[in-house]
Amino acid sequence: MLASIFRRSAAAVAKLPPQAKGRLIAGTALAALCCTTITGFEGLRTSAYRDSIGVPTICIGETKGVRMGMTVSKPQCEAMLLKRLTEDFAPAMERCVTRPMGDDTYAAFLSLSYNIGSGGFCKSSVVRLYNAGDRRAACHAILKFDRAGGRVVAGLVRRRKAEEALCLKGV
């Protein structure tokens, strides 16, 4: 399903705006890890639906510009995820995390950022702790983000535990 993401050509990467050419590059093992991690949590739905708090969503957790009734193909969903990660989420994350990250920590942080938003991620205790040098505490702080609409959601609890474990592999 995600094969098209991982075979994306260098020419396609060259078309990305300069700010998108950070560490997350299409066709790399890191891109594969990030996309696979996020897709595993978000799932893939080609028709618009309302998420657990009522936000119109499509594809792999995409909410930007989604209208109920929309449908898209799986390849469009894959391309949409990679574009949002490389153009929006990864650059924002790379700006606010000031210390080096291993690939596993990078993927865990990008998954969290994609789920809670770049603004929320950059202001989080996860980033503060990591930038202060307390990497293990930063990974454990991921567990705090287990709520949607003010209530604990079992799926988010599972996701955060998996993100924490992935993060800890990288420290």
pLDDT value of position 27: 83
| Residue 122 burial by Cβ neighbours in a 10 Å radius (0-12, 13-18, 19+) | middle
**Choosing from 42, 62, 78, 104, which is the catalytic residue?**
42
Could you confirm whether 51 is annotated as catalytic? yes
Output the CA–CA distances (angstroms, integers) from residue 66 to 60, 77, 86, in the order listed.
Answer: 12, 12, 19
Could you confirm whether 164 is annotated as catalytic? no
**Choosing from 51, 87, 88, 103, which is the catalytic residue?**
51
Kindly indicate whether the domain formed by 3-169 is annotated with CATH number 1.10.530.40.
Answer: yes
Average pLDDT of the chain is 89
Where are the domains positioned within the chain? 3-169
pLDDT value of position 13: 36
Q: Global pTM?
A: 0.85
pLDDT for 92-101, tens place per residue?
Answer: 999 999 999 9
pLDDT value of position 154: 96
CB 118 within 8 A of CB 88: yes
